[in-house]
Structure 1
Amino acid sequence: MSYPKLNARHIQNLSSATTLEPHWGYADRAIPCTNDAGSCAYLDVVYSAHDRGMLYTGVLWSSIGGILLIWALIRLLHEPNISLSLIAPRLAGIRKLRVSFAVLSRKFLLPDAAHMVFGRTTRIQVFILAALAGYLLIFSFVGITYNTWVTPVSNMDGVYNTRSSIGPWSDRIGVLAYALTPLSVMLSSRESFLSLVTGLPYQTFNFLHRWLGYIIFVQSSLHTIGWCIVELRLYQPQPSVGIEWVTQTYMVWGIVAMILLLLIFALSTPWGIRLTGYETFRKLHYVLAMVYIGACWGHWKQLKCFLLPSLIFWFLDRGARFIRTGVLHYHPGEESGMLGFKSIEATVVCFVDENHGDVIRLEMENIQDTWNIGQHYYLCFPKISMWQSHPFTPLNAPVIAKGQVKHSYILRAKKGETKRIADLASNGRLTTPVILTGAYGESITKNLAPNTNIVCVAGGTGITYVLPVLLGLAQQPPSPNRKLDLIWVIKHASNTQWIQEELDLLRTVRKDMNLKIRIFATRDPSSQASSKESTLPVKNDDEKDMKSSQSSPSADICDSELDVPIKLGGGSADRSRHPDLQKLITEFLDDTIGGPTTIFASGPGSMLSDLRDIVATCNSASKVWSGQEKFDVSLVYDDRLEW
């Protein structure tokens, strides 16, 4: 009986084999083993360790699938976010338990983890990463018999191989690295299957994608080092065994895969991204990742069961992006455009700021369905570059008027593509074509109860994330039990011109909405107040706040168009010029009549970190259990890494 040639590394005597025993993800084993006793014992360990490793990968993916299934069922059966006091008594106990647990987890898992290691990310993200890393650490070692076998080299007297469990262990972590590849691709997808199941926006998974990539890099490195020790040191005679091993086709592909993975790792570090620029990094990341998966296939095609889904997920993501863009821009019957597809003309307005970068406002209209509040679009400017797109959140509420939906965006033009857009406006070009892709993300207001109090906190252009929340509520009947607050931190009072129209609208309805607007200009010196207070009248309900502030180091002015007080900073560089968010939010909660509170936030990372700590301290599971819903405080924030 003849058998296909097996790789020499498996040290099996095929001429005397009566059968080949299949092993999923590995080379078939020749039965019976006619090698020396030590080699046969070593092969027993190799194949049993591999089989257990494949079982552990099955357990890993079954666990992930089970968690996602349970999550999807909970979302499907989850009742709307109604106040505890408004639901049936028989359901109140279950609901109270669930809300109290959510409050408790928020208190301990919402704050940032160690900044020096993980950056600005929450403890819950690090907890999930630790759980996954713990599983991988345990199952990288269990199920392997650890021993050493000294076996003679055939036809060479006095020459011995040292066979050890380094080989089976190296194979195990290599299998786990392959098994994690499809998960890494899923975590990076913009058209995310995970978002569809969990309801979490795709950017939520960026942290896990990055750190899972680090884990795969470590696993692959250890796999490579382990087999280099075996083949270049423990097997004899050298260097002939080592040369024969490294020149095999599967090993050449393994070396290529490791080089590609090293490049991916180096370019994904903060240093690498700064060196290449974000757009270059992103495109290199796409290309290198796909070539890496191909090299892994060439290295060990028996594990293509993990590589094929990775490629499928990647191509589905790219295809879905293309379809989304096509749907938004397909307008048959219009005069211009190719095959019914055309870009959208956007009006550009530039607000000059020489110190911090100009701010651009884009206005456009398109025939399409409305988006959900909190979602964002990727904008491509073909006149500048067809190969770049950036995520921006519409600052207006999604409304269809005369068959079209209006988009309004503001973006700061510091350098790169946005700077070139500002240059277009300064050169007299008032319009530019735009290609949209989206909308991405989840609705951030769909589960708000009628008595949920809302605080909107924004820094600079982060106002685009929170402003639609208020504009959307302005279109609904007012809720008498709801309290609203807008806290906007800007550098200069003149920055309110960015959203003058929207602020005017909120000013007219703020009394009906029970809305308080507070704007803080941190770079305007308080000395400006003395020259403006005499000419700018105070007309709103916050007059008492302005009077009390005049005794503090900073002062207020009132914008004559907005009729809203703007608190001025000291103009210095220290942190005291910024509002005390802890104090503002605590006072807001103290003034609420009842009901939970949701804080919507977008701005610099330091501000979001502060808010996570503040919200965590405001939550109290015991008080919520006793019926005090005001201590149920949640935070919804814009956590896009590309923002």
Structure 2
Amino acid sequence: MSFSKLDVRAHIQNLTAAKTLEPHWGYADRAVPCTNDAGSCAYLDVVYSAHDRGMLYTGILWSTLGGILFIWAILRHFNEPTISPSLTVPRLAGLRKLRVSLAVFSRRYLLPDAVRVIFGRTTRLQVLVLAALAGYLLIFSFVGITYNTWITPVSGMDGVYNTRSSIGPWSDRVGVLAYALTPLSVMLSSRESFLSLITGLPYQTFNFLHRWLGYIIFVQSALHTIGWCIVELRLYQPQPKVGIEWITQTYMIWGIVAMILLLLIFVLSTPWGIRLTGYETFRKLHYVLAMVFIGACWGHWEQLKCFLLPSLIFWFLDRGARLIRTAVLHYHPGEESGMLGFKSIEAAITRFSDEEHGDVIRLDLENVQEPWNIGQHYYLCFPQGSVWQSHPFTPLNAPEIVKGTVKHSYILRAKTGETRKIADLAANGVLTTPVILTGAYGETITKELAPNTNIICVAGGTGITYVLPLLLSLAQQPSSPDRKIDLVWAIKHTSNVQWIRQELDLLRKAKKAMNLKIRIFATRDTNTPTTSRESILPAKNEDEKSMQALQQSSSEADLCDCDLDVPVKLGGGSAESRHPDLQKLITEFLDNTITGPTSIFASGPGGMLSDLREIVAKCNSASKLWNGDEKFDVNLCYDDRLEW
């Protein structure tokens, strides 16, 4: 009989007396019958039964996740909006009324931030999902294990005894669960997300769960390690002989390597670790360490490769899909290009100097491609700086094909790193720079935008790029008399409107037809002699003179109402007076709304988004909606990439 299938876990079994091998998925085969002492045999019964149940629980976990995703995909298919701007939106009734009411109810209680000191600026919904997963893992880390202690003699050594306890089976259980969660962690981190394809949620939605699932895996792995160190270095005798033999085995060496790598991943992924290394360094180290960690786990316990192999496959599929996206965008065989028809895109640079907060750069480029969907973003790589870095930016223009090409326009604040290099090039007179695009990523924010949906766009600084394409697209569509639109933009200085001067001009011309109201808040400017018309926007022609007039405010407390199209409120002395009162603005908007739901689109600093989540939650009321008042259906769609 061959016992080649038995591995290191067989050392407590009497192999010479075994008649057969009993297979156990994910574990060492068991020698049957057990010819050890009664205590050791009882202990082995607990070990193998606890492991088998643990594998069953991992199957239940993945079956539950698969079932949820399947149901989600089915519901998403049947709930695909069929609304056209030219159609009249039906009144809420039947299943649609129930679905919308449930959505409003969930926003009311699950949209605000949850325990910000621990979880950061994260919604209660995400924390609830995390709590449900953590609760499942906590329960199934302990159930299905017989807890006992067995004192067994050490063969050939009189008066020396081993203490066998349920610490071993429990440690194996949490280790199995950590392995089972690894592919889920990789899926949650993927930019080319399989989960996004099923749920329709953008990949960045899963970043919070990826981070905290990583923390859970670290805790599970640490408990697994501590448990077996107690068993092998304390409970088993004689010491230190047993401990040395155990720690020098190959599978244990790989286990130590895996734990060290996981500790490094954990430390470097904390806010302190990211600040210490810098985000780009953290990101690359995270990729490398994670893949080596999975390899070390394979070396430690090959029997559970059923969880490790999918993790590697998901990771390589994600990287491969990114390369394919980039290749498709830059493959222009009919043009003069580099290897295999791949060509970077030349982007025109416009620099807006700002020594206090960092220069702002506008990039304008054209590419032969399919237009993206409003709300999506691209990753931009600047080869003149580094081909190993890319950053997410949202095009500020509406996606449309003109003469066979699609125009992209971006604004980005140059502080450090690659964006600073682009600003330095512009400062030295360089007018263009090559750009490599990857995308488009993210959800389509207009997919459920009915003709009677009122819209509030709230942006802070460069966050205007998220809401501007939506407004520009609506300006090109037939007007909807039932729709009311507001734009609230907070900028540091009035001169910042120059970033999007052309686009703002288009909105001003169409605002009457759109029923659009534009409000701009210059939070760092005050109504002093130094904020003259000339210092804000130097006049070069009549169009710019008219734009200068739009930057003036008659007082610090009130919007200028000097028959101007776009008044600008100048900030006062305190932080409260410098920033727009979002609670007041949104409440007044809803009070003046005649009919229909409201969608709020927002992008900006984390504090602004947290305030909006709280405000929007209070504005939702399922009971009033159920009674027919759609004004209390207030949805929030926001871009949180500025918090990355």
Q: Give the TM-score normalised by structure 2.
A: 0.95
* Contact kept? 1:104, 1:619, Cα under 8 Å: yes
* Partners of 2:506 and 2:371 in 1: CA distance: 21
* Contact kept? 1:556, 1:567, Cα under 8 Å: yes
* Equivalent residue letter for 1:491: K
Q: Report the counterpart of residue 2 of structure 2 in structure 1.
A: 2
* SS of equivalent to 1:362: strand
* Partners of 1:338 and 1:295 in 2: CA distance: 37
Q: Report the counterpart of residue 481 of structure 1 in structure 2.
A: 482
- How far apart are residue 546 of structure 1 and its match? 12
* Equivalent residue letter for 1:565: P
* Equivalent residue letter for 1:94: L
* SS of equivalent to 1:210: helix
* Partners of 1:8 and 1:518 in 2: CA distance: 70
Give the stretch that moved more between structures: 91-100 or 471-480.
91-100
Q: Does 1:347 align with 2:376?
A: no
* Equivalent residue letter for 2:385: I
- How far apart are residue 338 of structure 1 and its match? 2.1
Q: Report the counterpart of residue 65 of structure 2 in structure 1.
A: 64
- How far apart are residue 184 of structure 1 and its match? 0.1
Pick closer, same or farther for the CA change 1:119–1:500 going to 2, 3 Å. same
Q: Does 1:193 align with 2:184?
A: no
Deviations 1:109-160 (A, max 9, x none): 0000111100000000000000000000000000000000000000000000
Q: Report the counterpart of residue 460 of structure 1 in structure 2.
A: 461
Q: Report the counterpart of residue 571 of structure 2 in structure 1.
A: 569
Q: Report the counterpart of residue 387 of structure 2 in structure 1.
A: 386
Deviations 1:348-400 (A, max 9, x none): 00000111110000000000000000000000000111110000000000010
Q: Report the counterpart of residue 226 of structure 2 in structure 1.
A: 225
Matches within 5 A, 1:116-127: 116-127=117-128
Deviations 1:185-211 (A, max 9, x none): 000000000000000000000000000
* Partners of 1:172 and 1:576 in 2: CA distance: 56
- How far apart are residue 313 of structure 1 and its match? 0.0
* Equivalent residue letter for 1:33: C
Q: Report the counterpart of residue 270 of structure 1 in structure 2.
A: 271
* Partners of 2:530 and 2:520 in 1: CA distance: 14
* Equivalent residue letter for 2:568: I
Q: Report the counterpart of residue 54 of structure 1 in structure 2.
A: 55
Q: Report the counterpart of residue 309 of structure 2 in structure 1.
A: 308
Deviations 1:258-282 (A, max 9, x none): 0000000000000100010000000
* Equivalent residue letter for 1:19: T
Deviations 1:500-535 (A, max 9, x none): 0000000000000000000000100133599659x9
Q: Report the counterpart of residue 492 of structure 2 in structure 1.
A: 491
* Partners of 2:576 and 2:389 in 1: CA distance: 35
Matches within 5 A, 1:527-538: 527=528
Matches within 5 A, 1:178-217: 178-217=179-218
Give the stretch that moved more between structures: 329-338 or 578-587.
329-338
- How far apart are residue 641 of structure 1 and its match? 5.9
Unaligned runs of 5+ in 1: 538-544
- How far apart are residue 554 of structure 1 and its match? 2.7
* Partners of 1:406 and 1:119 in 2: CA distance: 36
Pick closer, same or farther for the CA change 1:592–1:557 going to 2, 3 Å. closer
Matches within 5 A, 1:54-133: 54-80=55-81, 92-133=93-134
Pick closer, same or farther for the CA change 1:151–1:130 going to 2, 3 Å. same
* Partners of 1:490 and 1:461 in 2: CA distance: 8
* SS of equivalent to 1:479: coil
* Equivalent residue letter for 1:327: V
Pick closer, same or farther for the CA change 1:642–1:578 going to 2, 3 Å. closer
* Contact kept? 2:559, 2:567, Cα under 8 Å: yes
* Equivalent residue letter for 1:199: G
Q: Report the counterpart of residue 472 of structure 2 in structure 1.
A: 471
* Equivalent residue letter for 2:100: V
* SS of equivalent to 2:76: helix
Q: Report the counterpart of residue 547 of structure 2 in structure 1.
A: none
Deviations 1:447-482 (A, max 9, x none): 101100000000000000010110111111111100
* Partners of 1:468 and 1:19 in 2: CA distance: 70
* Contact kept? 1:232, 1:238, Cα under 8 Å: yes
Q: Report the counterpart of residue 554 of structure 1 in structure 2.
A: 557
Unaligned runs of 5+ in 2: 543-549
Q: Report the counterpart of residue 283 of structure 2 in structure 1.
A: 282
* Equivalent residue letter for 2:94: G
* Partners of 1:417 and 1:263 in 2: CA distance: 26
Q: Report the counterpart of residue 37 of structure 2 in structure 1.
A: 36
Q: Report the counterpart of residue 424 of structure 2 in structure 1.
A: 423
Q: Report the counterpart of residue 436 of structure 2 in structure 1.
A: 435
Pick closer, same or farther for the CA change 1:9–1:244 going to 2, 3 Å. farther
* Partners of 2:528 and 2:370 in 1: CA distance: 48
Q: Report the counterpart of residue 617 of structure 2 in structure 1.
A: 616
* SS of equivalent to 1:478: coil
* SS of equivalent to 1:339: helix
Q: Does 1:369 align with 2:370?
A: yes
* Contact kept? 2:329, 2:369, Cα under 8 Å: yes
* Contact kept? 2:551, 2:568, Cα under 8 Å: no
- How far apart are residue 297 of structure 1 and its match? 0.1
Give the stretch that moved more between structures: 2-11 or 385-394.
2-11
* Partners of 2:530 and 2:587 in 1: CA distance: 27
* SS of equivalent to 2:389: coil
* Partners of 1:22 and 1:583 in 2: CA distance: 67
* Partners of 2:136 and 2:464 in 1: CA distance: 41
Q: Does 1:513 align with 2:514?
A: yes
- How far apart are residue 555 of structure 1 and its match? 4.4
* Contact kept? 2:88, 2:451, Cα under 8 Å: no
What is the CA RMSD across the aligned residues, in angstroms? 2.2
Q: Report the counterpart of residue 581 of structure 1 in structure 2.
A: 582
* Contact kept? 1:559, 1:566, Cα under 8 Å: no
- How far apart are residue 337 of structure 1 and its match? 2.3
Q: Report the counterpart of residue 607 of structure 1 in structure 2.
A: 608
- How far apart are residue 559 of structure 1 and its match? 11
- How far apart are residue 576 of structure 1 and its match? 2.5
* Partners of 1:531 and 1:601 in 2: CA distance: 30
* Contact kept? 2:604, 2:642, Cα under 8 Å: no
* Partners of 1:400 and 1:546 in 2: CA distance: 33
Q: Report the counterpart of residue 406 of structure 2 in structure 1.
A: 405
Aligned length: 629
Q: Report the counterpart of residue 135 of structure 1 in structure 2.
A: 136
- How far apart are residue 442 of structure 1 and its match? 1.3
Pick closer, same or farther for the CA change 1:585–1:642 going to 2, 3 Å. closer
Pick closer, same or farther for the CA change 1:314–1:385 going to 2, 3 Å. same
* Contact kept? 2:333, 2:341, Cα under 8 Å: yes
Q: Does 1:332 align with 2:333?
A: yes
- How far apart are residue 617 of structure 1 and its match? 0.4
* SS of equivalent to 1:599: strand
Deviations 1:89-110 (A, max 9, x none): 8x81211111111100000000
* Equivalent residue letter for 2:307: F
